[in-house]
Amino acid sequence: MARKKTKVETAAEKETKPVEYMEPRRSVAFIGSECHPFVKTGGLGDVMYALPKELAKMNCDVRVILPRYECIPWEYQEKMVYRGEFYMDLGNTGRNIYVGIMEYEEDGVVYDFIDNKEFFSGPKPYFNLIDDIPKFCLFSKAALAALNFLNWIPNIVHCHDWQAALVPVYLRTLFSDTPVGGARSILTIHNLRFQGIYDIKTIRYWTGLPDGVFDNPRLLGQDWLDANIMKGGLAFADRITTVSPNYAGEIQTPEYGETLDEHLRYHNCKLRGIVNGIDCDVWNPDTDPVLAANYNQKNAVKGKKKNKLALQKELGLEEDQNKYVIGLISRLTNQKGLDLVNAIVPQVLDEFTQIVVLGTGDRNYEDSFRYYENRFRGQFSACIQYDEARAHRIYAGVDSLLVPSRFEPCGLTQLNAMHYGTVPIVRETGGLKDTVEPYNQYTGSGNGFTFDRYESGLLLDAINRSKTLYFTEREYWDEMLIRDMNKDVSWGNSARQYRDLYMELTPW
């Protein structure tokens, strides 16, 4: 029997052979007020779900800590496992408050729910500040106490928005001499407009924090009478992140800083922007179960036409695959640039164009879009609801998606749109500017249409430019459609940047 020959590696081959290694492991506690699929009101819920799941694939040990709201669907509540309970003092109330810990695990991520029916009851997670401040003072303190109770001490505590912004404050004050006090902290700003501002007396009562943090205008103190929870979190956190590099710059200006621009410039050295991603398992036109026809980069042009016809039929629009269909999926609020849209609908609609709106929000926008649906039957559809499955079908069936926001920290709708081969039309602000490159008719580069100043005429011009390309140079439109689908909008790149940040904070 002949002997099998083995190749002897040369020194050069040994040098060029890739080295396999295991990245150092870091433990991270995510603390925030919402997380898909348990409870979600906006983009924070998506981030709290998708980012930990991606980090778990990168050798991070991740726990997510949430309130156990009464409104969490029973299908998840019944699968939670009791992990223990303890009593904890809360601020200057003089009471020992019950804290239960219920646990749920999925996709390599452990979810710990802070249980207290007195504070977390009701049909929705948020009500008003006078109710929400006690709730999130308890939650922030209980989250750290729960980590000590479970004896699970993370390297990093990663907190999100004002509802968890007290965590870095507690970490360096009331918990500094406890096991969890050695953790480093990151606070991520998803929307700076909401800061948790109330009078000092109330917040001192519910937190029990020392007077010094309220007296110092560089910490929680604001205008001598009020305390600002977000401001305190920014001051005490080891690092501050926000959801796009451009928004990180914008919030240091008076126009976008929501009165904290000077405070953020002061902490500039620890601030950075990391763009969000989307969950490409959930948002995948090739496997999406709710679409009329699945498609990918190879058959996207035909696939989108089939989905367009199905969408037109579903919404009662004139069924014609050659129509140019514009989508708008949004909370119906001032932030989203809907006053600009309202002003130009009659000028946009013609015999070749249709508009589809999906969302709920301010009554004036809901009513105006209903009016347009009545006035332009067969051309305009107003779905005043939020229907996740219908949102998927709109992304697949429309040609372009409007995101004309007044400000937009990151934005997820333009990322979803691109992944479904739908061309975004956006205002150059926040994460929209970071993720959408304007189409250049001379070079054929770019992946969308943009406008800069917040003016309805500029939005109309961007829409008209998109229609011109769609109707007169369809081959270039189709190339852009495929370019958008090829763009990496997954959480992979963003998660690697967060992991690098964790390593930077814990270099041992």
- Domain covering 300-488 assigned CATH 3.40.50.2000 in the classification: yes
Overall pTM surpassing 0.85 (yes/no):
yes
> Which stretches of the chain drop beneath a pLDDT of 70?
1-23
Alpha carbons 42 and 136: distance in angstroms, whole number: 18
The one-letter amino acid at 329: I
Query: How far, CA to CA in Å, does 474 sit from each of 14, 208, 239, 396?
Result: 51, 64, 46, 18
Cβ(442)–Cβ(504) below 8 Å:
no
Cross-strand pairs, 186: 158, 239
pLDDT (tens digit per residue) in 277-322: 998 988 999 999 999 999 999 999 999 999 999 999 999 999 999 9
Alpha carbons 286 and 463: distance in angstroms, whole number: 28
Q: Residue 198: enclosing H or E segment and its boundaries?
A: strand 197-199
Alpha carbons 112 and 462: distance in angstroms, whole number: 46
Q: Residue 262: enclosing H or E segment and its boundaries?
A: helix 261-266
Alpha carbons 311 and 317: distance in angstroms, whole number: 8
For 26-277+493-505, CATH number out of 3.30.70.1060, 3.40.50.2000, 3.20.20.70, 2.40.30.10 equals 3.40.50.2000
User: What angle do helix axes 474-486 and 300-315 make, rounded to 10 degrees?
Assistant: 100
pLDDT (tens digit per residue) in 426-483: 999 999 999 999 999 999 999 999 999 999 999 999 999 999 999 999 999 999 999 9
pLDDT recorded at residue 508: 72
pLDDT recorded at residue 8: 43
The one-letter amino acid at 69: Y
CA angle 422/425/426 to nearest 5° reads: 130
Instruction: Determine the distance from the C-alpha atom of residue 270 to the mean position of all C-alpha atoms in its chain, rounded to a whole number.
Output: 21
Q: Is the dihedral of CA 151, 185, 181, 233 positive or negative?
A: negative
Order the strands of the 60-67 sheet from edge to edge.
Answer: 81-89, 96-106, 109-115, 60-67, 26-31, 156-160, 184-189, 239-242, 271-273
Q: Is the dihedral of CA 300, 306, 309, 311 positive or negative?
A: negative
Alpha carbons 391 and 380: distance in angstroms, whole number: 16
pLDDT recorded at residue 41: 85
User: What angle do helix axes 129-150 and 200-207 make, rounded to 10 degrees?
Assistant: 30
Alpha carbons 395 and 399: distance in angstroms, whole number: 8
Query: How far, CA to CA in Å, does 321 sit from each of 184, 328, 354, 358, 391?
Result: 54, 19, 11, 20, 19
Cross-strand pairs, 239: 186
In the chain, residues under CATH classification 3.40.50.2000 are 26-277+493-505, 300-488
- Phi and psi at residue 191, in whole multiples of 5°? -155, 110
Q: Is the dihedral of CA 329, 334, 339, 340 positive or negative?
A: negative
